Every structure is written in structure tokens, then in C-alpha cells.
Amino acid sequence: MANPIALQVKDLKTYFYNDQRCNKAVNGVSFEIEKGKTLCIVGESGCGKSVTASTIMQLLPTLSRIEEGEINYFAGDGENAPAIRIDQLERNGAEMRRIRGSEIAMIFQDPMTALNPAYTIGFQIGETLQYHTSLGKKEIRQKTIQLLADMGIPLPERRVDEYPHQYSGGMRQRAMIAMAMACQPKILIADEPTTALDVTIQAQIFELMDDLKKSNNTAILLITHDMGVVAELADSVAVMYMGNIVEAGTVEEVLGQPRHPYTRALLQSIPVLGKGRNQRIAAIRGSTPDAYDRPVGCQFEPRCDFASPDCSSMPDEQNLSDTHRLRCWHPQRDSGSE
């Protein structure tokens, strides 16, 4: 039986405005994450993954606006009604501030989004623990050191009293992850949390996230480029392209029976070591269109080998199973197109 829902996003649209021009960065995204499950969002750079995450956190970049949609956060255990409901008319800022960092936490792509340069790492993690737990001063310090040790930070007893600028980039990232996990959130959003970290530490951090999911029933939204990570950690997968989810389903459905030409190309591409996360996906010809001048129909049409005149209108979403969703005029099968 399905678990209760932790986070529900319905037809979310977040647009950027610049000199009368509009970038439909997130253009009608819907998904749900059950308690104790991990949803991975994958897709090329610029497709709207981070904007989706910051919209859910209600930490929107300047010049952007939620145009439409609804976000429901079900924070407590076994409740049916959402703890907070946000639609484009009502932002619910005060409520959101209360749950941010306790019920819902985010690991950002850039650690300095979350860390304050003026305070020691220990103080910042301790502050989170103090605010959200009933631990005493001494226990907080012990717990903070333990969290840093868990993240593979060397000499945590000494490092705890250092400032962010005394940490390397990778260590800052780990300190931020420690802070996000400190209060055992019910919803954890992790935006490419381990880029810049070496594989051993990556594996360690993913294991800690998985532990949190199991012990605390945390729902995890994990944004990643790494299909290996998806295969290992995801319960379900959503593939994004230019602001839309083009295919979504269980990890078995999306990785095992991909039906969208884009998903298939994504799975064929092998990342090149050392090229970083902005590398273009080798198996797909062309590049993503100008975000301020998008195709009117299927966004993938200009790059798709199976494009036909149908593709100049946006395909509706179709359900291939209870969990497998697809937005494409030409679903693929292993034996060729339908």
C-alpha cells in the first residue's frame, strides 16, 4: 500500500520576467513524494530543477513569480490535511518560516546560500539544534561535533569552532548538509548535494540521507545528474526538460522502460569525468533553446529524432500505469516507435 503523502506539487508555474520578456522556467510541474520515499529529479542544466526546489522552499530568486499552482506540505505524522498549503494567491510566509529548517530543510547547490560568514560552523549548526530540539548546551556541542564527524570532516572537535571561510569548498558543503540534517526534517530537498565532493564522501553522505529517510520517515527530493545515484537511491524519478516533467514513474519504470526519446537519450549518455555538471549530453544533438524564446509545442521537438508535425503542439500527459506518466506524441519502445 502507498505511504501517506509528504509533499504535493500541483501544476506549478514559476516564471522570470526581464525587460518585458518571460522565461517560463517551471511550466506546469506536478508530483508527489510519499513519506519515507525518495524522488529524484533529473535533467540537463537549466531545465528548472533548482527553481522548482526554491519555489517549494518559498525562497524565490528576484524577478521570479509563482504564476499558478499549489504546494501542499504534510509535515506531521499520519495527518490527512496539509500542514501548509500554498497557492499563488497566498504565500503563508510566517508559517513557512516556522517549518523551514525543522519540518522541511534544503541542501543548496551553493553552500554559502545557507551559511553565514559571520558565525562559526559550530554556532550555526548548534543554533538549529537549539531551536528545534530540547537538548542542553553540552549535548548540542557533542551532537554538532558528531554531525561534523559523520560528514567526514577531519578533526571535528577543532573545526567546530572555525568560520566558513576557514573551510574548503567541499567542507562547507558538508557543513551545510550537517545543518540541514541536524533537525531531522520530515521533507529534505537536496539540490545536487555532492557535486564537488569526492566519491567516498559522496557515498557516505548518501548513506546518511538514506538512514534519515528510514529512521525518520523523511521524504527526500533529490536533484542529481548522476544516473548511478538515481538507480541506487530513488524510489521514483521525474525527468525534466525545459520546465516540464516529460516522463515520471517508479525507478523501475523510468530507468527500465523509458518511453520518452529524451529520457532514453539521457540514459545513453555517459558523463565525462572532470567535465563538471554543465557538460552537454553527448547523445542528444543540438542544444537547449533560448529560455526566453521557447518552442510553442513539445519543448524537445527541435532536438528529437522522432519529431513530426504533431509535435508543434504540447502533448497532454498520459498515464501508462498508475505511476508511469509521459508527455510525448511518439512514445518509444525497445522495438521502435509506436
Ligand X SMILES: Nc1ncnc2c1ncn2[C@@H]1O[C@H](COP(=O)(O)OP(=O)(O)O)[C@@H](O)[C@H]1O
> Residues in the site for ligand X, rule: CB under 6 A?
16, 23, 25, 43, 45-51, 61, 63, 291
Contact of 128 with 179, CB cutoff 8 Å: yes
Partner whose binding site includes residue 25, from Mg ion, ligand X, none (CB under 5 to 8 Å by kind): ligand X
- The one segment of 5-13, 45-53, 93-101, 246-254 that binds Mg ion by CB under 5 A: 45-53
Q: For residue 197, how many C-alpha atoms fall within 13 Å in the half-sphere facing its CB?
A: 26
CB 241 to ligand X: min, Å: 10
- Residue 63 vs 270, nearer CB to ligand X: 63
CB 55 to Mg ion: min, Å: 13
- Residue 15 vs 206, nearer CB to ligand X: 15
Q: Is 297 helix (H, G, I), strand (E, B) or coil?
A: coil
The three three-digit cell numbers of residue 159, written as one number:
573545526
Determine the angle formed by the axes of helices 169-182 and 199-216, rounding to 10 degrees: 10
CB 288 to ligand X: min, Å: 8
**Which residue's Cβ lies closest to Mg ion?**
50
CB 300 to ligand X: min, Å: 15
Partner whose binding site includes residue 51, from Mg ion, ligand X, none (CB under 5 to 8 Å by kind): ligand X
Partner whose binding site includes residue 291, from Mg ion, ligand X, none (CB under 5 to 8 Å by kind): ligand X
Partner whose binding site includes residue 196, from ligand X, Mg ion, none (CB under 5 to 8 Å by kind): none
Contact of 263 with 251, CB cutoff 8 Å: no
Task: Give Cβ neighbours of residue 264 (< 8 Å, ≥ 6 apart).
Answer: 258, 332
Partner whose binding site includes residue 47, from Mg ion, ligand X, none (CB under 5 to 8 Å by kind): ligand X
Written as one letter, the residue type at 96 is: M
**Proportion of the chain in helix, strand, coil states, percent, rounded to 5:** 35, 25, 40
- Residue 56 vs 151, nearer CB to ligand X: 56
CB 137 to ligand X: min, Å: 39
Name the DSSP letter for residue 269. Answer: -
CA pair distance 123, 139, nearest whole angstrom: 13
Count of residues touching Mg ion (by CB under 5 A)? 2
CB 255 to ligand X: min, Å: 19
- Residue 14 vs 124, nearer CB to ligand X: 14
Partner whose binding site includes residue 7, from ligand X, Mg ion, none (CB under 5 to 8 Å by kind): none
Task: Give Cβ neighbours of residue 234 (< 8 Å, ≥ 6 apart).
Answer: 38, 39, 40, 222, 251
Is there binding between residue 55 and Mg ion (CB under 5 A)? no
Residue among 84, 201, 197, 199 at smallest CA distance from 149: 201
Task: Give Cβ neighbours of residue 266 (< 8 Å, ≥ 6 apart).
Answer: 42, 43, 44, 227, 239, 281, 283, 284
- Residue 2 vs 63, nearer CB to ligand X: 63
- Residue 47 vs 248, nearer CB to Mg ion: 47
Residue 41: CB atoms within 10 Å: 26
Q: Is 211 helix (H, G, I), strand (E, B) or coil?
A: helix
- Residue 80 vs 278, nearer CB to ligand X: 278
Partner whose binding site includes residue 61, from Mg ion, ligand X, none (CB under 5 to 8 Å by kind): ligand X
Is there binding between residue 50 and Mg ion (CB under 5 A)? yes
The three three-digit cell numbers of residue 326, written as one number:
509521459
- The one segment of 47-55, 80-88, 198-206, 294-302 that binds Mg ion by CB under 5 A: 47-55
CB 229 to ligand X: min, Å: 16
CB 226 to ligand X: min, Å: 14
CA pair distance 42, 226, nearest whole angstrom: 8
| Contact footprint for Mg ion (CB under 5 A) | 49-50
